[in-house]
Amino acid sequence: MDFIAVAEDLRRKLGDVKIVAHGRSNGGLLVAASAIMRPDLFNAAVIGYPVLDMLRFDKLYIGRAWVPEYGDPSNSEDREYLLKYSPYHNIRPREKYPPMYIYTGLNDDRVHPAHAFKFHAKLREYGHQSYLRVERSSGHIGSTPEVLAEETADYIGFIYMVLNK
């Protein structure tokens, strides 16, 4: 994965650099999958409005429309591939993951907030550091400028907290 290769290159070239990955929507999938696959590369992960359960994405909202892009979880060959990187399915109890900040909105009509809820709950169940922000008024693209500013301030505050420990 190119994203992981870039993080590896940063670590190799800059040594003890701190890396916080941030992605939203499909970028949230990228960041979550990368942090789960290679937790040693990241100091924190910020994951917004994400698709995280790659074996059930097609069951929620418009997820069925994404089958041509991701593959069909009901097809055994596709399912095997999806399982390899599905963030939700690859959380391990004894792994040391970076702190994760997950944010979503109850009015997201593209990516069901259940993806964020389940992922956060499983991380916490296994004792990993995870924070969840749920916005009541925003959808997938966002909300009012005030809500977007609050949302941004919250995840920047998380990054500041993590990097200054």
What's the CATH number where 78 sits?
3.40.50.1820
To the query of whether residue 120 is one of the catalytic residues in this protein, the response is: no
Mean pLDDT value across residues 98-103 = 97
- Cβ proximity of 54 and 115 under 8 Å: no
pLDDT for position 5? 97
Residue 28 is encoded by which pair of tokens? 């949230």
pLDDT for position 57? 79
Mean pLDDT value across residues 23-43 = 96
Q: What is the mean pLDDT of the chain?
A: 91
pLDDT for position 148? 86
By C-alpha distance, which of 122, 119, 115, 159 is closest to 140?
A: 115
Q: Could you give the number of structural domains in the chain?
A: 1
Cα gap 119→116, rounded to integer Å:
5
Cα gap 4→33, rounded to integer Å:
10
Cα gap 33→13, rounded to integer Å:
23
By C-alpha distance, which of 70, 25, 67 is closest to 50?
A: 25
By C-alpha distance, which of 88, 103, 100 is closest to 139?
A: 103
pLDDT for position 140? 67
Structural domain containing residue 29: 2-163
> Active site residue: 22, 89, 140, 143, which one?
140
Mean pLDDT value across residues 112-125 = 94
- Cβ proximity of 11 and 19 under 8 Å: yes
Cα gap 48→111, rounded to integer Å:
10
> Active site residue: 22, 25, 89, 143, which one?
25
Look up residue 36 and give its amino acid. Answer: I
Confidence grade of residue 142 (pLDDT, cut at 50, 70, 90):
low
pLDDT at residue 144 above 90? no
pLDDT for position 107? 74
To the query of whether residue 115 is one of the catalytic residues in this protein, the response is: no
Share of the chain above pLDDT 90, in %: 70
- Cβ proximity of 54 and 88 under 8 Å: yes
Confidence grade of residue 138 (pLDDT, cut at 50, 70, 90):
confident
Look up residue 134 and give its amino acid. Answer: V
